[in-house]
Amino acid sequence: MSQTITPELRQWITEQVTAGHGPEAVLKSMTASGWQEDVALQALEQTLEKFLADRGIDPEAIYERGTAALYDKPVPAPLLHGEPNVIDLGDAQVQVVFSLEQPRVVVLANVLSHQECDELMALAATRLERSLTVKTDTGTSEVNAARTSDGMFFQRGEFPLCDRIERRIARLLNWPVENGEGLQVLRYRPGAEYKPHYDYFDPAQPGTPTILKRGGQRVGTLVMYLNTPEAGGATTFPDVKLSVNPVKGSAVFFSYALPHPSTQTLHGGAPVLAGEKWVATKWLREGRFE
């Protein structure tokens, strides 16, 4: 029996997409509710095409920004549509190692030189303290059992090295320096981990509006590896069963146009099994973080 694409189906697809569900998730629920896959796919493509055209979004943007482009909201992103293998940033030749559309994840090598990694660790070392996480019900910070690393924050531009790295990240991700939080450095000792979490602030928490006054939501994260731990310590994305192994000077980038689990950006730092793991994290806000 042949199925036909009705205006109601198109309407439903549009609602799903604007609610933050990626095309794959929408396709899945369509087939689960009895739509033939080819019909579902055709309906999805037609609807998305119109959705993009109505909003003046270039379908090419999807290749650059992943499905975030569907939400018509800019997010930080390396320019990948020309399929570059190396991005020349002047003071660094960054290699594109791996990219995933949904969730938007890009693994990059040679973001920092080994010397920069060493200098950053040395600058951070004396200021490390047991990591706090933002308590979203009040907007204050607290020690969190899910995060057993030691950490510290630099002010943006606090040292010439921070400034240089921040400007490089701004060019890499095409996102203003002013929208970045100061670099955070974390050190994990053997056994330490960062349980899976989202980096955006949960809109349902009462403390979130206070946090958002300074720069708005987080929309992207760059985790830079400052050393190569002997074993363990991968950055994991449980929703897509992806692990990124830490390698000195490399980084994993991910973005999230919406503060919603449908972005599939749940991620964590797996327990370090041997040696130490050091990372520097750059969080990017939608607005100026002053």
Ligand X SMILES: O=C(O)CCC(=O)C(=O)O
Residue from 248, 243, 236 nearest 276 by CA = 248
Residue from 247, 255, 237 nearest 279 by CA = 247
Where does this chain touch Fe ion (CB under 5 A) — which range of 77-85, 139-147, 154-162, 198-206?
A: 198-206
Tell me how crowded residue 222 is: count the other CB atoms within 10 A of its CB. 27
| Number of chain residues interacting with ligand X (CB under 6 A) | 10
Nearer to Fe ion, 47 or 236 (CB): 236
Note the Cα 242 to chain centre separation in Å. Answer: 13
**From the list Fe ion, ligand X, none, partner contacted by residue 279 (C-beta under 5 to 8 A by kind):** ligand X
**From the list Fe ion, ligand X, none, partner contacted by residue 223 (C-beta under 5 to 8 A by kind):** ligand X
- CA 183 – CA 159 distance, rounded (Å): 11
The least distance separating ligand X from the CB of residue 235, rounded to whole angstroms, comes to: 3
- CA 209 – CA 203 distance, rounded (Å): 8
The least distance separating ligand X from the CB of residue 281, rounded to whole angstroms, comes to: 4
The least distance separating ligand X from the CB of residue 275, rounded to whole angstroms, comes to: 14
**From the list ligand X, Fe ion, none, partner contacted by residue 254 (C-beta under 5 to 8 A by kind):** none
270 near 193, Cβ under 8 Å?
yes
Q: Is 235 in the site for ligand X (CB under 6 A)?
A: yes
Provide the residue type at 162 as one letter: C
- CA 228 – CA 139 distance, rounded (Å): 34
Q: Is 110 in the site for ligand X (CB under 6 A)?
A: no
78 near 110, Cβ under 8 Å?
no
The least distance separating ligand X from the CB of residue 144, rounded to whole angstroms, comes to: 12
Q: Judged by CB under 6 A, which of 78, 199, 250, 285 binds ligand X? A: 199
Size (the chain), residues: 290
Q: Is 269 in the site for ligand X (CB under 6 A)?
A: yes
| Number of chain residues interacting with Fe ion (CB under 5 A) | 1
Q: Is 166 in the site for Fe ion (CB under 5 A)?
A: no
Nearer to ligand X, 103 or 269 (CB): 269
| Cβ neighbours for 130, distance < 8 A, ≥ 6 positions apart | 143, 150, 151
Binding mask 199-238 for Fe ion (x = CB under 5 A): x---------------------------------------
Residue with tokens 């689960």: 32
CA angle centred on 230, ends 225 and 235, rounded to 5°: 40
Q: Judged by CB under 6 A, which of 267, 282, 286, 289 binds ligand X? A: 267
Tokens of 3: 């199925």
**From the list ligand X, Fe ion, none, partner contacted by residue 170 (C-beta under 5 to 8 A by kind):** none
- CA 270 – CA 99 distance, rounded (Å): 20
Residues that bind ligand X (CB under 6 A): 186, 194, 199, 221, 223, 235, 267, 269, 279, 281
Residues that bind Fe ion (CB under 5 A): 199
